[in-house]
Amino acid sequence: MSNRTDSNVYTVLFAIGMVVVVGALLAFTASSLKGKITQNVELEKQQNILYAMGVNENDESSAVFVNKEEAPELFSKYIKQQLVIENGNVKEDNKAYLLDIKKDKALAGGDASKRHLPLFVGEKEGQTLYVIPIYGKGLWDAIWGYVSVDENMVVQGAYFDHKGETPGLGANIKERYFMDDFIGEHLLDASGNFKGIEISKSNADPENKDKEDNEVDAIAGATITGNGVGAMIKSDLALYVPYFKNLNK
């Protein structure tokens, strides 16, 4: 290395130049791709909601969404109503699927009456399904998902996703064998009180034959991610219990 690059002036100038060049490059990439990325994110939300309703292209073992191009059309076909529940008042809002739950949670600051709760009422093969978004935290970062239930809060489908769980372990919450376990599982206990679904390591029921035990089998090596899934189901779905109580009156 030559002496020229050792001088302090050169070092400082190089650092400044590098920051400007790299910063400009990243800013340019981010702003020029922003529109397309936002569009992809929105389409994905529609795909997720449809997936939880059972509208998907699953093959034998892997989870496959409906085609991205067809998502908006299918979304308007299957989703009959998009609702936002605010302190017990139900409003219709056809942009409800874009509501940022993380932000809403933060703004409400633990006060459930300040929350804006999106709810998607869908219809598939004559059955009315209610799709509810959930949001929580796993081991490393955020986890979220959509759960579809019938009017008795029995799960009809679930989709989970994550930002940065460990590949091969916690990341498996978005695998079929885990998500499919929730189908048919009850969220209420025998006496009709909300109980949620626990991700259990000790239920001795790996095939999940008992659908009324409020438990599904955990993933080995992914305890904290699994607990996170259980926690977000419990905290977020509980907020919708009054709506369903009302519905069944």
67 binds another protein (CB under 8 A): no
| DSSP secondary structure letter of residue 189 | -
20 binds another protein (CB under 8 A): no
Residues in CB range of 106: below 8 A, 6 or more apart: none
**Alpha helices per DSSP H over the chain:** 8-52, 71-78, 101-108, 176-179, 223-238, 241-247
- What residues from 109 to 138 belong to the interface with another protein (CB under 8 A)? none
**Dihedral angle, C-alpha 228, 137, 161, 243, nearest 10 °:** 80
Cβ proximity to another protein, 73 vs 141, nearer residue? 141
How many Å apart are CA 142 and CA 124, to the nearest integer? 30
Tokens 């991205």 identify what position? 68
Cβ proximity to another protein, 69 vs 125, nearer residue? 69
166 binds another protein (CB under 8 A): yes
Choose the stretch contacting another protein; rule: CB under 8 A; options: 24-32, 142-150, 185-193, 233-241: 24-32
| Residue in 2, 89, 113, 191 binding another protein, rule: CB under 8 A | 2
Q: Cα separations (Å) of 215 from 62, 143, 151, 198?
A: 23, 19, 20, 5
| Residue in 16, 20, 27, 29 binding another protein, rule: CB under 8 A | 29
22 binds another protein (CB under 8 A): yes
- Least Å from the CB of residue 38 to another protein: 10
Cβ proximity to another protein, 104 vs 205, nearer residue? 205
200 binds another protein (CB under 8 A): no
**Dihedral angle, C-alpha 199, 202, 207, 209, nearest 10 °:** -90
**Contacting positions for another protein (CB under 8 A):** 1-2, 5-6, 10-11, 14-15, 18-19, 22, 25-26, 29-30, 33, 36-37, 40, 44, 61-62, 68, 162-169, 171, 206-207, 220-221
